[in-house]
A and B are shown apart, each in its own frame.
Chain A
Amino acid sequence: MAKKVLILGGGDGGTILANRLVKKLSPDQVEVEVVDKSDIHWYQPGFLFVATGEAEKEDISRRRPKLFRKGVKFTKGEAKKIDLDNRSVEISDGTKKTYDYLVIATGSSLNPDEIPGFTEGVDHFWNYDAAMKLRKKLFSIKEGKVIVGIGGLLYKCPVAPLEIVFLAEEIFRRRGVRDKIEIKYVSPIDRAYAPHLLNKVIEDEMKKRGIDVITFFSVDTVDPEKKVVNSLEGDSLEYDLLILTPPQQGAKVVRDSGIGDDEGWIPVDKYFLNVEGYDDAFAVGDATALPTPKTGVIAHFQAATLANNLAVEITGEGTKELFDGQSFCVIETGMGKASAQVSNYFYDVPPGLIPNWLLHAMKLAMNKMYWRCILSGMI
């Protein structure tokens, strides 16, 4: 009898896992169902390019049901409660789904109210609407103070605030207003970006581009009336445009089911990804409490590892693999160039790659390959 794999969340991790499972196993071996509250799939790295005017809605979104291979059942609905002990998940329509294996791929959700004044006073690009709003401002501001940087400390895509500051600087330059705009980058630590070698490259580039780095500035509150951002360290900065990472937390269903930490991130085994204390429930992607970056590439590699391991578990054939924490992020630095960050559990000092056109070309290629090659489980 086919084993039932229930996947909560149809983002990168959930989609890649589902497609890889039906590619590896036959319908009499596995039954795969994905539950997601939305039938639109967003390519989230594309929000950056929406903000900079280089991508439109149709470039970065697809109808979710069309992204699954034949054999994957997609159900539009919201998981409300997960009961790991009874292998059951309550869905928003009141039905309960049972499973042999559960994979929680519910991602992270924005929690802007953690920083008072964020919703009214801050721009960001962590969803389509916010990215479009930011685009209008980037292309209309004529003068003043632009502050970019880290607001919420744990957020999707660690390099995103660096990318937007470089690309915003390029936009202002192209628009001929750069000399009337002061750009500051705020960071809660003593440098712009944590990995030292890469930080050297980033700070050199910022210096070259006239971007001031304000260190030890942990955003505490924002006053949208006075247009001032205040730090925990007691400093205040005036702004005309403020672009910060929104605070984020685990999905509501995780928090409501009591299976995450105090922010709703799920503790899992760092190599096998099973939820602590369970061998039939797993989590992949942003949903986990692992110290890996919250990025699509992590979700992709985790889904590949877990697809293999579930196939081994179901068939009793083959060898299980370990997830090694592998991450690879291209960092757009503008002017047609990009750097990159590479790390894993055993190598956490990424090299400082000098920005070059090849990495930029890779990022553009990835934007296209994502739909056809990555989500389908081809690579």
Chain B
Amino acid sequence: MSDVQPTVTVDARGVACPGPLTSLIKAYRKAKNGDIIEVLATDAGFKADVEAWVKRTGNELLSLTEEGGVIRALIKVTAR
């Protein structure tokens, strides 16, 4: 998924729960279908939170990876 270019990047590194998820929701509020939102987070709970959020909202989780303590989620907006 490294070739996917995000429309917007939300850098929530160092932010505690629920900061990364609320930052994602803020970006989602401004997004339109087809946009790709990239979220960078260090809060361990973010993985479960973003999976549950994508499942509930019907958007598409393109990838969810972790490298060097940084969680990277790529979400394709499909449910706006």
List residues of chain A with CB under 8 Å of any chain B CB: 153-154, 188-190, 194-196, 215-216, 218, 220, 232-234, 270, 291, 343, 348
Contacts and interface: CB of A to CB of B under 8 A. Distances in A.
A171 B14 CA distance: 40
B41 to A, nearest CB: 11
Contact of B18 (A189, A232, A233): A189
A188 B22 contact: yes
A153 B22 CA distance: 7
B25 A234 contact: no
Nearest to B14: A291
Nearest to B13: A291
B49 A291 contact: no
A250 to B, nearest CB: 15
Contacts of B56: 190, 215-216, 233
Q: Is the interface of B mostly helix, strand, loop or mixed?
A: helix
Contacts of B16: 291, 343, 348
9 contacts: A153-B22, A188-B22, A189-B53, A190-B49, A190-B52, A195-B17, A216-B52, A218-B29, A232-B29
A301 B4 CA distance: 43
A153 B21 CA distance: 10
Contacts of B19: 291
B14 to A, nearest CB: 6
Interface of A, helix, strand, loop or mixed by DSSP:
loop
A264 B29 CA distance: 18
B14 A153 contact: no
Nearest to A215: B56
Contacts, number: 46
B57 interface: yes
Closest 5 CB pairs of A and B: A194-B18, A291-B15, A348-B16, A216-B56, A153-B22
A48 B25 CA distance: 27
B53 A154 contact: no
Contact of A189 (B21, B26, B29): B21
A233 B29 CA distance: 10
Contact of A194 (B17, B26, B28, B57): B17
Interface in B28-57: 28-29, 45, 49, 52-53, 56-57
Contacts of A220: 29
A247 B45 CA distance: 25
A270 B16 CA distance: 14
B26 A153 contact: yes
B28 A232 contact: yes
A127 to B, nearest CB: 23
B59 to A, nearest CB: 10
Nearest to B16: A348
A343 B17 CA distance: 12
A124 B46 CA distance: 30
B53 to A, nearest CB: 7
Contacts of B62: none
Given A291-B14, A291-B16, A291-B19, A216 B28 contact: no
A153 B25 contact: yes
B57 A233 contact: yes
B24 to A, nearest CB: 10
